[in-house]
Structure 1
Amino acid sequence: MDKKIAFIGAGSMAEAIISGLIQSQIIDKQQIIVTNRNNRQRISYLKEKYQIISMQNKQQLMEQADIILLATKPCNMEQAIASVQPYMRDNHLILSVTAGISTKRIERWIGLKIPVIRAMPNTSASIGYSATALCIGAYAITEHLQIAEQLFNTIGTTVQVNEAEMHMVTGISGSGPAYIYYLIEAMEQVAVEAGMSSATAKQLIHQTLLGAGKMLNQTNESATELRKKITSPAGTTEAGIQTLEQNHFQQMIKNCIYAARDRSIELGE
């Protein structure tokens, strides 16, 4: 990709995307620029680790960049845009990975008819396995969407959604890896409590998770069908599933996702 990308914000999501882009080799390290509000130590860390460019002069940054990737916290988004808005051009492409902030609000803060695309990746971007949802703003066209798809496809897979769905995307795939890690924490803890070594527990659980994911991807069977195949009547799996049902496991997961969705809505307001 023959474009320079400026990251405004240097947190964990920005790093995950930078790492994924570099590993994919779609873009040269010297085409990636990073800046943030005031954490110079964080910028130095990213510059040293990934050999990318750091820049605090906002005018210079905007003059050099073709794509502006907003990766700030929601509460800092308006201020971050204000810091670069005087130097924005109509031919800049704005990508936002900040949860909860709509394209309409970003466009209003920018004050220009400029293409904006929201993306909701997850931290699996750092190893090329992100699930990223994209939605386009009022001034983005097919060409801009294709650029965004090309960029985010290097760090996983992409799907286009309506913007109204982005809050639910946040709850499912944006925050989803954390729910899965939380489940794994519990599995590892119970294995160790039962006397298994931590190393053995991790090997078994991690491979089990990997295998289940590949079964979902490589077969035409639904999660329900695959679960039923494992669940023999009166068997060990059924005993475990019954315990999950008695403790309303699926409803707890739904509540978890709704809570994340509702928080995304709050952040947007």
Structure 2
Amino acid sequence: MNTQHAFSIEGRIGFLGAGSIAEAMLSGILKKGLLSAEHILVSNRNNQERLDQLADTYQVQVSQDRKLLVDTSDILILAMKPKDAAEALMELQGTVRPGQLVISVIAGVATSLIEEWLGVQCAIIRTMPNTSSAIGLSATGLACNRFVTEEQLELATRLFEAIGTVFTVAEEELDIVTGLSGSGPAYIYYLVEAMVGAGAKAGLCRETARQLTLQTLLGAAHMLLDTSEDPALLRLKVTSPGGTTQAGLEVLQSYQFQEAVTSAILRATERSRELGAQYR
């Protein structure tokens, strides 16, 4: 099936929420030519200035009338903050049609709760993109409820491929996706902070240390992607016995570096489950 052509049908996407993820998505959709700007409608609760900014930048349609947005959209993107979700969705009870596709980027909120708050049995796809969606390089997990069809999953996949790479998982696995790739950019940024700081402390100009660090990360990522080799094997290839890399790795091992990263991801996963539990 030609998904690009399938998604170019007449239809409208409505964004309930106008934050950074919503902007990254609509930007990606427009850049990929999946839909034209006049078929995208964006709404938020009370920030008209933000809506005007999106309208000026992307020529999309904007409105603070959420019920109008729901009534005129074929696909609804729920992009409000988790703390606002229950009130916002319950206000929309009776407006969402069974045939509409609802896509949620609300962290921690189960599809069953969204269905309950909307008061209708409909297709809901829950997602977890990350902040790299802003540059089209997100790693996004998708999970479906029981009403989602193969065609709807395909459409949602095309939407999120506009901002990166997509993986379909079971809904109970989304908390793991949150801990790993949702929170993952922060772990990488933390590592970069340390590497740049170390380079500067050792005597390099800070900007030179930054550029060296970033290119090193970029090169390592491409090595992993392009060779498909196990990271442990690539690490061993770089590590000469008695050399500089081994000396550095021994220090990381003494600080239990791998155990610390594992613990961080597991704790973030647990925290995602804790946050989700408060809405159940």
TM-score range, shorter chain: over 0.9
Residue equivalent to 2:49? 41
Residue 99 of structure 1 and its aligned partner are, at CA, apart by 1.2
2 CA distance for matches of 1:202 and 1:137? 44
Please, which of 1, 4, 8 is the counterpart of residue 16 of structure 2?
8
Q: Distance in 2 between matches of 1:178 and 1:47?
A: 30
Contact residue 86 and residue 117 of structure 2 kept, 8 A: yes
TM-score, normalised via structure 1 length = 0.95
Structure 2: runs of 5+ lacking an equivalent? 1-7
User: Which structure 1 residue ranges, 5 or more long, are not aligned?
Assistant: none
- CA shift, 1:42, in A, is 2.4
Match of 1:118 in 2: 126
Deviation at 1:137, TM superposition (A): 0.5
* Partners of 1:104 and 1:138 within 8 A in 2: no
- Alpha-carbon distance between aligned partners in 1 of 2:206 and 2:41, rounded to the nearest angstrom: 40
Tell me the amino acid that sits aligned with residue 144 of structure 1. Answer: Q
Show structure 1 runs of 4+ deviating over 3 A.
none
How far 1:50 moved relative to its partner?
Answer: 2.3
- What's the counterpart of residue 180 of structure 2? 172
User: 1:131 is matched with which residue?
Assistant: 139
- 1:235 CA displacement: 1.0
**For the residues of structure 2 that align with 1:267 and 1:222, how far apart are their CA atoms?**
34
1:153 aligns with 2:161: yes
Aligned to 1:204: 212
- Contact map agreement 2:94 2:120 (CA 8 A) in 1: no
Mean alpha-carbon deviation: is it higher for 38-47 or for 167-176?
Answer: 38-47
2:34 aligned counterpart, secondary structure: coil
**Cα distance in 1, alignment partners of residues 37 and 209 from structure 2:** 38
Find the aligned partners of 2:233 and 2:273 in 1 and give their Cα distance.
33
Match of 2:243 in 1: 235
Name the structure 1 match of 2:5.
none
Which of residues 34, 40, 43 in structure 2 aligns to 1:26?
34
Q: Percent identity between the aligned chains?
A: 45
Q: Find the aligned partners of 1:182 and 1:4 in 2 and give their Cα distance.
A: 39
- Coordinate RMSD, CA, aligned: 1.5
Contact 2:101-2:123 within 8 A present in 1 as well: yes
Partner SS state of residue 84, structure 1: coil
Q: Deviations over 1:209-258 (max 9, x none)?
A: 11111111111311111111111111111111111111111111112112
Deviation at 1:84, TM superposition (A): 2.5
Q: Secondary structure at the match of 1:85?
A: coil
Q: Aligned letter for 1:158?
A: V
Deviation of 1:38 (Å): 2.1
Question: Aligned AA for 1:25?
Answer: G
Counterpart residue type for residue 5 of structure 1: I
Moved more, 66-75 or 80-89: 80-89
Say which is worse superposed, 81-90 or 146-155, in terms of deviation: 81-90
Aligned length: 269
Query: Contact 1:7–1:68 at 8 Å: present in 2 too?
Result: yes
Q: Separation in 2 of the partners of 1:26 and 1:81?
A: 27
Distance 2:190 2:15 in 1: 30
1:207-222 matches, within 5 Å, as 207-222=215-230
Distance 2:230 2:199 in 1: 28
- Could you tell me how far apart the structure 2 residues matched to 1:152 and 1:49 are? 21
1:255 and 1:44 mapped to 2: Cα distance? 43
CA distance in 2, matches of 1:48, 1:176: 32
Match of residue 254, structure 2, among 241, 246, 251: 246
Q: Is the 8 A contact 1:18 1:126 kept in 2?
A: no
Matching residue's letter, 1:264: S
